[in-house]
Chain A
């Protein structure tokens, strides 16, 4: 008789292999047709969740390529989270893994598109912000919302609409994906390199606003003078109005 581990292993092989292995069906016994039903159920559920998360990626790749990507992903068994909502992120991790995109034969921009779509998905359900934050001050640490992601991409994939796939322009693109705290709507803000650098620096829990501004200036080759400070002030006001910056803490 099979051990529980061997039994479960045969079921997993049957469900995730590119083709259903005859050896697993033989080992499991019973009616193959019914075991194959389980294979369809497992793959269908996984497929539904990734297709719901990556509608523009599906558009861009088309059914055949997307199905090939799914087959390769299932076979790689990068399904470690007990939460099914994490599966699209696991597909992205698979794509980002060494050589996965090339093996599956996907165009370069799909990586950026997958990163954007997963960021939108993740931000929609990031944990809510807790408590109040104080007033911004140069020596205080800036408090950002918990529901945001900063993306630094090689393609302008944010211009792609669902149902209208286009080949995006290849150009350095920085984005801030965040969730509106009132409506829960996910928004994508196309940021300048300086704004992106500022948000990245302010994301660090260890630096105060003054240090963050100085580091962002150094990264972008800007001089910290009055016009620069005024521009930063405008940026922070805009980020605050959007709820990306919530305030500061000592």
Chain B
């Protein structure tokens, strides 16, 4: 079981050696991306075995293309479902984005227009995905740098509508809301206040690239910003204790630096736990 007031980290090949050699005591769970482990042996299989021996696993996917027009792949969903049941994840999540069209995979989390048609389309697909996987399902809000001419609502309303009509849980990426606020000129708290925060099952935090101040890029390759720590605390005051995951995918710093980020996140989660009781699961 994943503790409701725990912190976790994404299992990455670039972090694995230090993670297993010097695991931080605060670490309560590890998140894995099934696409990296499905039908895969060698070092990846060993890494997954080692992680499963030590921590509860939660899964987070990349390739469902919930907002995409192509049909869902039944074989891929069955294989994914078997993997999820094997690692005993409490839920599986993927992104409110698209990544494929006309059989071409773009391997990126691309934005969908914030439209009523997209809400209907995504909600129908979530229902089919949840049926096929056999575990509870959550969607993650993404960073979007553009949403095009087809949008009929803002991000907060769009995510809320998808959650309402699909019944899915929310994997709330606090950094993504922050980055979107900066890139599109709104206060992230305004979007967060629109969201049904009682549906949050997990939170992601990460660093981002601010090389171009007018367009922050969600890279998972930089340290967490003070503003993001503060926004996380603000969210946790409203949600109560929720598992919080540090995403670090690249440009890995010294291990002690990452452990320091985990310690600080753990303190924030514990502070929130002391002022608000955990919600019933």
Contact = CB atoms under 8 A, between A and B. Distances in A.
A84 B109 CA distance: 13
A16 interface: yes
Contacts of B41: 125-129, 146-147, 179
A100 B164 CA distance: 49
Contacts of B121: 4
Contacts of B115: 1
Interface stretch (B23-31, B43-51, B232-240, B262-270): B43-51
B118 to A, nearest CB: 6
B148 A29 contact: yes
A38 to B, nearest CB: 6
B38 interface: yes
| Main secondary structure on A side of the interface with B | helix
Given A9-B101, A29-B149, A184 B106 contact: no
B38 A8 contact: no
B86 interface: no
B277 interface: no
A7 interface: yes
B279 interface: no
Interface residues of A, number: 44
Contacts, number: 129
A21 to B, nearest CB: 15
Given A4-B121, A34-B215, A84-B35, A79 B104 contact: yes
B42 A80 contact: no
B104 A30 contact: no
A82 interface: yes
Interface stretch (A41-49, A108-116, A166-174, A193-201): A41-49
B147 interface: yes
A37 interface: yes
Interface residues of B, number: 44
A87 B146 contact: no
Contact of A80 (B105, B146, B217): B105
Contacts of B101: 5, 8-9, 11-12
A205 interface: no
A4 B118 contact: yes
Contact of B108 (A3, A42, A82, A126): A42
Interface in A122-169: 124-129, 146-147
Interface of A: 1-5, 7-9, 11-12, 15-16, 28-31, 34-35, 37-38, 41-42, 45-46, 49, 77, 79-85, 87, 124-129, 146-147, 179, 184
The 9 closest A-B pairs by CB, nearest first: A29-B149, A128-B41, A8-B101, A5-B69, A82-B63, A34-B146, A30-B146, A127-B41, A34-B145
13 contacts: A4-B67, A5-B69, A5-B101, A11-B98, A11-B101, A15-B108, A28-B149, A30-B146, A38-B110, A49-B107, A82-B100, A125-B42, A147-B42
